[in-house]
Each structure stands twice: as structure tokens, then as C-alpha cells.
Amino acid sequence: MERLIPPTRSLRGILRVPGDKSVTHRGLILASLAQGESTLYYPLKAGDTLSTAQAMRQLGADIREEGAHFHIRGVGLRLQEPGDVLDCGNAGTLIRLLAGVLAGQEMFAVLSGDASLRRRPMGRVTTPLRQMGARIEGRDNGRLAPLAIRGGGLSGIHYELPVASAQVKSTVLLAGLFADEDTEVVEPAPTRDHTERAFRHYGLPLEVEGNLVRTRRADPFPARDLVVPGDISSAAFFLVAALITPDSEVTLEGVGLNPTRTGLLTVLKEMGADLEWAVTEGQAGEPVGWIRARSSALKGISVDPRLIPLMVDEVPVLAAAAAWAEGQTYIPNLEELRVKESDRLTAIAQNLQNLGVRVEAGPDWLRIWGGGVSPGVVQPFHDHRIAMAFAVCGLPCGVRVLEAEWASISFPSFWEDLAQLAQTP
């Protein structure tokens, strides 16, 4: 599906973005492992998380959609052996986190996904899971899906992450719930902590000491309702859209403001963004509030590499902001973008060039010369965040987006919400 975005003269309004994808994944998995019934309120219902709901149904959980919510009856810490391959679709979080859960189950299961997912690196989770005693086979000696897992008999390990990755950390912690002795994970830099907050919410074993996180074998735990905050990664598209489009003011309400996810807000403020936010409530350990963005004269900066793990999914839309900023923007520490839904470094560079922006891409960095963009064509490379980020990038001048349907992976109403806010000539 191709979508033509006309030149936009301003963006105005108040919006609620869909539920946080990371929290929805974790809520579906942990509620399925709980004993009893619970409700997951305001989850994201999109391609990736619907794959999670279906996988957990195959493992025995009763998950029903009730309006905007999921009602879940968990099966306890012991899932049932699936009768077929568990299809993770395009969801990298799902396949990695579920590998951790299945490593602790006394059964056999196979995890696979679409062509994009089958190209993404799985060795980063199969390596520690094998150290814990899981038997895992897969293509390229377990470095690529499909993954065949025969679980059970795990032992806790002390594992130092070679890269800062919330997915790998979470995978090991989930496996640790089924392991003899303690399981410890050491991070080289802080990453999003939704798993730790969810463990606390459900009363699961957890200790945090600086950059070390520890868990141990869990006892059966009761189900609890969980409220999912709005996804700041989805809010980011509208924040940047308002900053780069003249005469604009957009307010996002009910957004998760977890401090391990707000790196983009810090960077945009350093670029001169007229940006305000405040925490107004807390939901299941996750701070929630509002963010307001107004049109701003942005300037290029050199981004602190320590902030990248706190905004790794927002780098494409940061690149869109940099294209409209005055001067150069340098974004380092981007090696993780090479192994996302697409090679996002290449995808960002190609789309900036398509829109007339000068850009250089190194092995793990981008340098962008700002000053504005020209009308052109956006190629999403089968990646939801690329499609949305460069639709935003071309808003002030108009842009044509190919394969616009990829946005539905994480934001099914993106195009309608954008049209709702947009004021066109």
C-alpha cells in the first residue's frame, strides 16, 4: 500500500498513542505464567503483540479480547507443549523472551517467524541459555531461527552481557525463574527495565545492585491486573513531527515516562526543542504522564553515546529531526541498528538521501547535515519504524511512502492519527 502525505502547514491537537509494545509483550507472557485470571488493560493490539497472544494460547493460556483489553487465565509456571511451531511473526522481543521461558519448560517447542525475523541474530540468547543447560538447535548452530528447544534442568549462571540489550537481559532473567541457584545478569550500560518492573508487580524474585540484576527459581504466583502505559516510541513520531512543522503544538497524554526510555527527550532538548513533560501517575510501577511539543528551531549536536541504549528504537525519528536541524548531527554507538527489523543504519541513510539530505553512515555511526528536506519517496525496507519516521521527515514538504502498511506492526492507527492532527493547505 502506497500513501501520499501532502505538504502539512501545521499539526495541532491532543492524542493518546497505543499501549507500550515492550510492556504488552511482558504482560502477556507473565500473566500466562501466573495462576488465576487477570486483565491486561490498554495493551498494544498490533502485529507483534498479537503474535505473542497467539503463542501463549498455543502454550495453554486462555487469552480473550474484551474491548480494548485482554482477559487472561494463566496456567501457572508449567505451560503445555505446543502442537505446532510457535510463529513469532516479525517480533524479535517475542522470540527472544519466549526462548527464555521455554528453556525452563520440560517439553519440546520450535520458534520461528517471518523472513526478516529469521535473519536476526539469536546467538546472543542461545549462548547464555545453553550455558544454563538448555538444549537448543537452530540454523547456523543456533544463531538463526527456527530454534528448536528442549527445555528443563536449568542451572543459574552469572552472565555479563557483551552488548547492552534489554531483550537478552530479559531472556536470561525469565529462564532464571526456572533454574536451580541464583541467576545474575550484569549490564555494560543501563537498558530499559520493563522486565524488572514487571517482576516486582507480580511478586517474582528480583534484586538489583547497580548494574547487576539477580533472580532465582520462582514459586507459583497469583495473577494480577496490569495497566499498560502509552508507548513513548510511538509518541516520538508525533513529537518530532510537531517540532519540525511550522505553527505546531501537539500534546501526547497517558505516555509511559520510564526513565530508561526517555533518552530521545534529553537529546531533543539539547537540540533546542520546545518540549515539556511531566509524570502524573504510576501504573504497575511504570511512571505515566504527558508530553507537549511545539515548533522549534533545532540545531545539530553530537549525541552522547551513553544515551543510545535509552532510545535505540527512536534513532530513525531522531534522524528525521536532524535532517531539519541547523548544522551537523553526529549519532554514535549504533551497531545494534544493523540487526533490527532492517539494517536501520542503511535504511536511514538511504531514505535521507531520497529526500535530498546529505548523510554519511559508518559501521556504527551516522553524520547528518541538516537544513531541510525535499519531496521524495520513502522506502520502509519492511520496517515499521522506518516507514513512520520518514513519513514524519517529509511532512512539511510532502512525501510518498511505499509499503505504508508496515506501520501496523506497532501502530495500527498511525496514518489516521497523523491525518487527525495535520492541517494541510
**Active site members:** 313
Which SS3 state, helix, strand or coil, does residue 143 take? coil
Taking each helix axis as running N to C, give the angle between helix 315-324 and helix 263-270, from 0 to 180 degrees, rounded to the nearest 10: 10
Rounded to whole angstroms, the Cα distance separating 238 from 235 reads: 6
Rounded to whole angstroms, the Cα distance separating 174 from 388 reads: 32
DSSP 157-197: -EEE-SS--HHHHHHHHHHHTTSBS-EEEE-SS----HHHH
Residues in the chain: 425
Rounded to whole angstroms, the Cα distance separating 396 from 374 reads: 9
Report yes or no: 389 and 368 within 8 Å, Cβ to Cβ: no
Report yes or no: 186 and 209 within 8 Å, Cβ to Cβ: no
Rounded to whole angstroms, the Cα distance separating 366 from 259 reads: 25
DSSP 245: S
Which SS3 state, helix, strand or coil, does residue 341 take? coil
Residue of 346, 356, 267 lying closest to 308 (CA atoms): 267
| Residue 331 to residues 106, 261, 310, 362, 380, Cα–Cα distance (Å) | 45, 17, 13, 10, 20
Report yes or no: 192 and 170 within 8 Å, Cβ to Cβ: no
Cell of 162: 557483551
H helix or E strand, kind and range, residue 413: none
Report yes or no: 146 and 139 within 8 Å, Cβ to Cβ: yes
